[in-house]
Structure 1
Amino acid sequence: MSRPRKVAIIGAGPAGVLAALRLQQFNHISPVIYEIRAEPTTLGGAIGIPSNGLRLLHRLGLWDALRARGAETSTLSVHALKGQVIGEMDMTSWSREKTGFGYLRIRRVDLMEVLHEAARKATIPIHFGKHLTGITEDNQGIAVTFADGTSDNADFLLGCDGIHSMVRKLYVDPGLTPEYSGISNIYSLVPTDQLPSAAASISSLNATLTTDGLLAVSPCRPNGEMVYWFFSRELAMPTSGDTRDGWEERGKEQVETIKSTVLDLIKTSEGEWGQIMKETIRKTETLRFYPVYRLPPNGQWSRGRCLIIGDAAHAMQPHASQGVSMALEDIFMFSNLLEAHPGPLDEVFRIYEQKRRPRVNEMYLLAERNGGIRKKTTPWRLRFNELATSGALGIYNFFGMGKLGLGQKPLAYDVEEDKN
């Protein structure tokens, strides 16, 4: 089989644009991206990218531009409901030493502006308003058709179109459907010039445990001019079932009531941090709600000349901040295997899945475990959790256990150490 020269990519989110940049730079393959939205989206809150993803972004030449738009927030500060800090830890001390990178929190819109500008400079075409309707292939290549009557041909196809992937639904694994995790998030972005002056100096991810979920606040811009906050909680599926109308109604209810709900939960919070939290909630003007879905593990990832990557293949809960990083690892692994194995694509896909599934499953389970602290609990259980967290973090820091890499080894993983 001759080396592939052209790839069609469905999805102009992070996975799609990053895949195009890598395949063009490293494999000298010409990418064309197709996006269902009519224009680049401005939706989304702030994304966390740990060491394993940041190292790969640096290799793509994107780190400096992203660092200039985001906030490095490697420290976790855990607060009791009363407001006081009960423990702190550097989440990336060991992995930073191994990789040279910590943890970046960046608005999704800033991330996408950097990626689309990189694609523009690389003259990678992105076609918007393209609703995928069909995929066919033969021995010569693969063809995609769109609702507007246009079509395209390529040597292979990448589905980078997220958890609700049309590539997966139409072609790769039509029977696999997303499932609700039981956790939902409310989030917002708030300029710090509307908050107490101390808010502009927040430099870490600040988490507060409550009886009804996890409240977290983090900077997401380099000079502290904006904070991202979210409230992540256990929430039952709508009584009408897993339907769009049901979730739209549930989301409307949550947006209307969540500010008063959270303010009631933190009403006993005192001191400077208590004031910052309360003012952040009060000054919030626009709230977004989204139920957290995931894909059941071990679905099919490829068919013929088509491969799905990132959330299209293995969407996991966001509680390990690995969405962008997992997509990057997928991209680099696949790119390297294309160079190392110039044979049939189905053999490259087979080796790719064999190598990627253990790592993806590891992070999938980690994200699921981290979701446990979002579940409802009693006041007594919350107090026990606060004491346990304080004790565990105290021991962790006193004995310098971060130097052993506990909890950080997955963040130092380098997908390029496994190239063949």
Structure 2
Amino acid sequence: MASQAQPLNIIILGGGIAGLTTALSLTKYTPANTPPPNITIYEIRPLPATIGGAVNLTPNALRLLNHLGALQEIRANHYGKECLAVEVFDLYSGSKLAESSFRGDEGKGLGDPPFTALRITRGEALKGVLAVIEKQPNINLVFGKRTVDIKEFSKGVEISFEDGDIAKGDILIGCDGIHSVTRLKHVEPDRKAVYSGICNAFGFAPRRKCDDGRYEDVHFETTAMNFGRRGILLTSFHNEDKDFVYVGALMQIPEIVSRDGWKAAGADAENVRKDMLERYAGAKLDLIPHLIQDAQDLFLWPVFTLSKYGKWCTDRVMLIGDSAHAMPPQGESTGMVFEDAVLFSRCLARWLEKGNGTPVREAFNAYENLRRERIETAWDESQSVVKTVQETGWFGHKIKMNIIPWYLWWTRAYREKHFIDDVTACGLGY
């Protein structure tokens, strides 16, 4: 392993949001007496991946993006739309049942400093992080590199790519998602992704205008979860102009359509649209079918998960984010990835500070000891998402609509605790 007088050479596989924020975190937390690590991020795609829906960046996520300098870029470019609460509606009555609020007791947000939430497209969130990456001379982002082999030695790792190139480093961090090559080729090949039975069909609908030129009214402030008998339809603004609405249908589909999700084209897109219209038929508000009818660039994205327990690391290779613990979406998944990146970087920095010649596995183990319980609890909680999306009859739907307000009230303090938690300041225990 490199001494403190020499920078670590770190390889990151995966140039998505997890890989980029991990690189920024590793740079930010470099000890004062140590040169910044030389970080090379290898991404399989030829360009940054802008595919994806509109995610909700919760207060803990915004706090960490602010800490890394990315939130400033996002706000400077006016990306996203502030979300003060996720509102819950019964699709058939149009009635608001409850909300999950980010306002805090004083209306300014949660935590110290306080943050609300931000609904933003994955592409624009990535642009904000990339803008900070471009300012870091120690971080190199390389596209179009498909990994075919990973070798680990006592003093480092070696990555072989499909084009014949080889990369060597002191440690490897796998941020390459649910179908992680780092996991499948090296850390735990037998731990494969499993289809959850749920797909997310999504697109972006331009708002219709009335005869007087005004936009068609919506029933939500920023984001609504519209519960039906055959799934949840999420409708949300994702930009300040509010001229488009993100439409995301989380629904139970027995057949796996695609491993990675695909952009529906031609007749396929119309079949997806027809299915959505049938699933959410009977909506009280005309807006619901209008948004489905008008949604552009439809994608169908199967939700895959990993088993609850699994191996996260070897002596010189660590998995971060979905590559280690992918689970169904539950409203804070993106924030959890940022927490992974910052907490791991702090553990590695502490190991560098100690400089006592112990193996880097000490930092890996410290990170796991801090993170395992939180991830396993979140995994358990995510299973309720699968149950909520499962199709039900009218009576079952009525029961669900009565339970949801009580459940959100009962769990409010628990949810807010996680939105307030700050992994930049927690103890590391070693």
One-letter code aligned to 2:282: T
| Matching residue of 1:20 | 23
Q: 2:134 aligns with which of 103, 106, 120?
A: 120
Distance apart, 1:331 and its partner CA: 1.3
* Separation in 1, partners of 2:151, 2:27: 24
Identity of counterpart residues, as a percentage?
27
Distance apart, 1:250 and its partner CA: 11
Check the 8 A contact 1:194/1:283 in 2, yes or no: no
Check the 8 A contact 1:201/1:224 in 2, yes or no: no
Check the 8 A contact 1:77/1:205 in 2, yes or no: yes
Identify if the C-alpha distance between structure 1 residues 177 and 339 changes in structure 2 by more than 3 Å, giving closer, same or farther.
same
* Separation in 2, partners of 1:307, 1:251: 38
| Matching residue of 2:33 | none
* Separation in 1, partners of 2:128, 2:313: 29
One-letter code aligned to 1:17: L
Distance apart, 1:300 and its partner CA: 0.8
**Pair 1:230 & 2:248 matched:** yes
| Matching residue of 2:120 | 106
* Separation in 2, partners of 1:83, 1:329: 38
**Pair 1:280 & 2:291 matched:** yes
| Matching residue of 1:73 | 83
* Separation in 1, partners of 2:382, 2:407: 20
**Pair 1:333 & 2:333 matched:** no
Distance apart, 1:266 and its partner CA: 4.2
How many residue pairs match? The answer is 405
* Separation in 2, partners of 1:310, 1:207: 25
**CA root-mean-square deviation:** 2.8
Aligned residue runs from structure 1 range 75-90, under 5 A:
75-90=85-100
Identify if the C-alpha distance between structure 1 residues 182 and 252 changes in structure 2 by more than 3 Å, giving closer, same or farther.
farther
Identify if the C-alpha distance between structure 1 residues 75 and 387 changes in structure 2 by more than 3 Å, giving closer, same or farther.
same
1:56-78 Cα distance to aligned partner (Å, 9 max, x none): 11100111222420112231222
Aligned residue runs from structure 1 range 364-403, under 5 A:
364-389=379-404, 396=409
* Separation in 1, partners of 2:63, 2:263: 41
Identify if the C-alpha distance between structure 1 residues 286 and 251 changes in structure 2 by more than 3 Å, giving closer, same or farther.
closer
Q: 2:310 aligns with which of 280, 295, 299?
A: 299
198-207 or 95-104, larger mean C-alpha shift: 198-207
* Separation in 1, partners of 2:367, 2:376: 14
1:240-277 Cα distance to aligned partner (Å, 9 max, x none): xx9869x889999974434334334444333xxx1222
Distance apart, 1:194 and its partner CA: 6.2
Task: Please state which structure has a larger fraction of its residues in helix.
Answer: 1
Q: Could you tell me the TM-score, scaled by structure 1's length?
A: 0.88
* Separation in 1, partners of 2:172, 2:407: 47
**Pair 1:419 & 2:408 matched:** no
Check the 8 A contact 2:69/2:132 in 1, yes or no: no
Aligned residue runs from structure 1 range 12-411, under 5 A:
12-27=15-30, 28-67=36-75, 68-94=78-104, 96-99=109-112, 100-123=114-137, 124-192=139-207, 197-199=215-217, 202-237=220-255, 255-270=269-284, 274-322=285-333, 324-342=334-352, 343-389=358-404, 396=409, 405-411=413-419
SS at match of 1:54: helix
Distance apart, 1:206 and its partner CA: 0.9
* Separation in 2, partners of 1:97, 1:321: 14
Distance apart, 1:386 and its partner CA: 2.5
* Separation in 2, partners of 1:19, 1:265: 39
Identify if the C-alpha distance between structure 1 residues 42 and 155 changes in structure 2 by more than 3 Å, giving closer, same or farther.
same
Runs of 4+ residues over 6 Å off in structure 1: 247-254
Check the 8 A contact 1:192/1:200 in 2, yes or no: no
Identify if the C-alpha distance between structure 1 residues 407 and 325 changes in structure 2 by more than 3 Å, giving closer, same or farther.
closer
169-178 or 69-78, larger mean C-alpha shift: 69-78
| Matching residue of 2:355 | none
* Separation in 1, partners of 2:89, 2:340: 35
Identify if the C-alpha distance between structure 1 residues 382 and 334 changes in structure 2 by more than 3 Å, giving closer, same or farther.
same
In structure 1, stretches of 5+ residues that fail to align are: none
SS at match of 1:287: strand
91-100 or 48-57, larger mean C-alpha shift: 91-100
Q: Could you tell me the TM-score, scaled by structure 2's length?
A: 0.86
1:332-380 Cα distance to aligned partner (Å, 9 max, x none): 1111112222332111111211111101111122222133211100012
One-letter code aligned to 1:338: L
Distance apart, 1:184 and its partner CA: 1.4
Distance apart, 1:286 and its partner CA: 2.3
1:111-144 Cα distance to aligned partner (Å, 9 max, x none): 1222222211223211111011122233332221
Identify if the C-alpha distance between structure 1 residues 187 and 181 changes in structure 2 by more than 3 Å, giving closer, same or farther.
same
Identify if the C-alpha distance between structure 1 residues 167 and 267 changes in structure 2 by more than 3 Å, giving closer, same or farther.
closer
SS at match of 2:234: strand
* Separation in 1, partners of 2:150, 2:238: 39
Check the 8 A contact 1:320/1:366 in 2, yes or no: no
293-302 or 73-82, larger mean C-alpha shift: 73-82
